[in-house]
Amino acid sequence: MMTNHTQTTLPPHMPTLRVMPMPSDANVHGDVFGGWIMAQVDIAGAIPAARRANGRVATIAVNSFLFKQPVFVGDLLSFYADVVKVGNTSITIAVEVYAERNRLQADTVKVTEATLTYVATGEDRKPRQIPPLEAIEAFSAGK
C-alpha cells in the first residue's frame, strides 16, 4: 500500500547513486517497474557494503522493502545507503530513495526504503571475515 504524497527535501549528504529511469524501465502507463527499482537499490546498497568489507560482497537477504510512492519515467532518483550493522561476515545496509519530480517546481518525495544484508566473500565466493574498521582505515591512509 502506498502512503500519501508527502513532499520532503533530499538528505544533506551526498547520495550513493543517482539515476533517471528511462521509458524501457516502465510499463505502458509510465510507471517504473518495481523490479528495476529493486535492482538499483541493490547496486546502491552494495557500494558501502563493499567499501566496509574491503572487497567483494554478495546480497544474501532483502530484509524489508517498502514502495512508498510510484516512480515515473523522468524522475531523478537519489539513493542514500548507510551501514546499519556489521557482523563477522555480513553487513546490513539501509537504503532510502528520493524522487525529484517537476524539477522546476522542486517537488521531492521519498519513494522507497529498504534494508538489505550482504555477505563478504573471497575470490572463491565463499564467506570471509570482515576486516576490523581500523585495518581498513590504516590501509586507506597508506600505512
Measured between alpha carbons, how far is 114 from 10 in angstroms, rounded to an integer? Answer: 17
Q: What is the pLDDT of residue 18?
A: 96
For the record, the C-alpha cell of 96 comes out as: 532510502
- 30-45 per-position pLDDT tens digit: 899 999 999 999 999 9
Question: 135, 102, 125, 110: which is closest to 8 by C-alpha?
Answer: 110
Measured between alpha carbons, how far is 14 from 43 in angstroms, rounded to an integer? Answer: 16
Task: Kindly list the strands in the beta sheet with 107-120, ordered across the sheet, starting from the edge strand earlier in the chain.
Answer: 17-19, 76-86, 90-101, 107-120, 57-67
- Domains, in order of start, for the chain: 17-140 (3.10.129.10)
Measured between alpha carbons, how far is 139 from 54 in angstroms, rounded to an integer? Answer: 10
Q: What's the mean pLDDT when you consider all of the chain?
A: 91
